[in-house]
Amino acid sequence: MTEIHPIAHFRSPFGSKFGIPKQSGLVKNVPGHIVFEPAYRSKDALRGIDKFDFLWLIWHFSANKHTPNSLVVRPPLLGGNAKMGVFATRSPFRPNGLGLSSVQLEQVEWDTNNGPVIHVLGADLMDGTPIFDIKPYITYTDCHEGARSGFVDRTAITRLEVSIPQPFQACFSPNELQTLCEVLALDPRPHYQDNPLKVYGMSFMDKDVRFVVSSEGLLTVVDVVQV
């Protein structure tokens, strides 16, 4: 069997897996960039890539430390109440721990101390995630209009109302604040937790964002702590 090794690592505003959007593109303006391993820091390796608008990233669920012990999972979109086959989902708990994300290519920074760096938007990757491969998104093969999406078609994504008091808004730039609001609206909590008194903490932009969620579905930020 051929071994695969990371060609790059992802730099992300998410310091832990808690709070990361569960699919790429759900929060379109989440910034991130790809830093290549020394062996792949070549402009030739990226020749022509800046002519594409989107890329596929193949990566490792590196934060999952335990071996999956079941071939059925409980998708969060279904509230954690229904079981589906692992290969009918995008669950991170899978035999080979490989992730697949479609991201928007924002720009290529060709000359840095780390060689060429790819800046992207909309990724669902944690900071430090190993990337095994990058492929261009090609419209005529990768876009299938009218295709069915299984249980996803029958289950709408719900979003919370988000309140961030003014003192905490000042901790972020306008773009960061907008992105944070969109991330929090997706409800970062585990599907099995619904305690309005519990304070949750999410790593975002080197800060710990702490929040509560009321029984009425209002998420309120109660503190922001520099990490």
CB 191: neighbour CB atoms within 10 A? Answer: 14
Task: Give the contacts of 87 (CB within 8 A, at least 6 positions apart).
Answer: 71, 94
Q: Are residues 44 and 122 in the same domain?
A: yes
The total number of structural domains that make up the chain: 2
Task: Specify the CATH number for the domain of residue 86.
Answer: 2.40.30.70
Q: Are residues 24 and 134 in the same domain?
A: yes
Whether residue 3 lies inside any domain: the answer is no
pLDDT for 224 equals 97
Q: List the chain residues with pLDDT less than 50.
A: none
Whether residue 44 lies inside any domain: the answer is yes
Q: Are residues 31 and 122 in the same domain?
A: yes
**Domain region containing 59:** 8-142
pLDDT for 114 equals 96
Whether residue 219 lies inside any domain: the answer is yes
Model pTM?
Answer: 0.91
Radius of gyration of the chain (CA): 19
Whether residue 97 lies inside any domain: the answer is yes
Domain boundary among 86, 109, 142: 142
DSSP H helical segments within the chain, as ranges? Answer: 139-142, 166-169, 174-185
pLDDT for 78 equals 84
pLDDT for 1 equals 73
Q: Are residues 30 and 117 in the same domain?
A: yes
pLDDT for 2 equals 82
Q: Are residues 122 and 214 in the same domain?
A: no
pLDDT for 195 equals 85
Q: Are residues 107 and 32 in the same domain?
A: yes
Q: Are residues 167 and 130 in the same domain?
A: no
* C-alpha atoms less than 13 angstroms from C-alpha of 105 in its C-beta half-sphere: 21
**Which residue, 203, 189, 57, 208, is CA-closest to 123?**
57
